[in-house]
Structures are given as C-alpha cells and as structure tokens.
Amino acid sequence: MKEELFAELVASVKEGGQILRGEKEAARTFPYDRLDIKRIREKYKLTQEQFAAMLGISVRTLRNWEQGRRVPEGPAMVLLRVADLHPQAVLDAARQMV
C-alpha cells in the first residue's frame, strides 16, 4: 500500500474514533425515522405469526424488529413503509401470492 494512502486511512480511522467519543462532529449524518413495526402490524389486526407470513419473514425476525433488537434494512424497510402507507396494496399483493 502506498504511504500516502496508508496515512489517509490512519487519519480516517483516528477521525472516526474522535466522532465516536464525541470529541468531533461528524461531517455528514443520515437521519432516519424509526418505524413502529408493532403499530403497523396492529393496524392490520394480525398476530405476529400472520404478519410475518404475509411479509414472507420469520416470526423471530419480526419479534426482533418489534422489540428493537434488530432494525430492518433495505428492501424490508421499503416493504414496511409501503405496508404502513398503503395497506391495501400490500394486502392485494399478499392475496395474489396465495
């Protein structure tokens, strides 16, 4: 590895440590709204087992999301947002899969 690149990498790691310790402000942040997944499920009036089956995920995954131990990412996050904002679209799609 070239010395210049290595020095840049070391500086970046040190800066990351400063940010984590609260010694320095991050140059960029990416805020997001945390979804209330339990509220979304309750809007459908479904049990955890039923909602997980409708979304095609395991009940264990759903429980982890609802209890805040895990956070959905990528396509799962998009699907949950659609489920929250457009419940009829999700129900229509789920019926087509049966």
Cβ(12)–Cβ(20) below 8 Å: no
> What's the mean pLDDT in 79-85?
96
Band (32; pLDDT cuts 50, 70, 90): low
Helix (H) or strand (E) holding 61: helix 59-66
How many domains is the chain partitioned into structurally? 2
Band (75; pLDDT cuts 50, 70, 90): very high
* pLDDT at 31 exceeding the cut of 80: no
d(CA 72, CA 66): 10
Based on the domain organization, do 26 and 41 belong to the same domain? no
- The boundaries of the domain holding residue 64 are 37-97
* pLDDT at 98 exceeding the cut of 90: no
pLDDT at 52: 96
Q: Can you give the pTM of this predicted structure?
A: 0.65
Based on the domain organization, do 12 and 45 belong to the same domain? no
Q: Which two tokens stand for residue 75?
A: 């396509």
* pLDDT at 29 exceeding the cut of 90: no
d(CA 14, CA 7): 11
> What's the mean pLDDT in 65-80?
94
Based on the domain organization, do 59 and 88 belong to the same domain? yes
Based on the domain organization, do 51 and 7 belong to the same domain? no
* pLDDT at 70 exceeding the cut of 90: yes
Query: What CATH number should be reported for the domain holding residue 63?
Result: 1.10.260.40
* pLDDT at 34 exceeding the cut of 90: no
Based on the domain organization, do 55 and 25 belong to the same domain? no
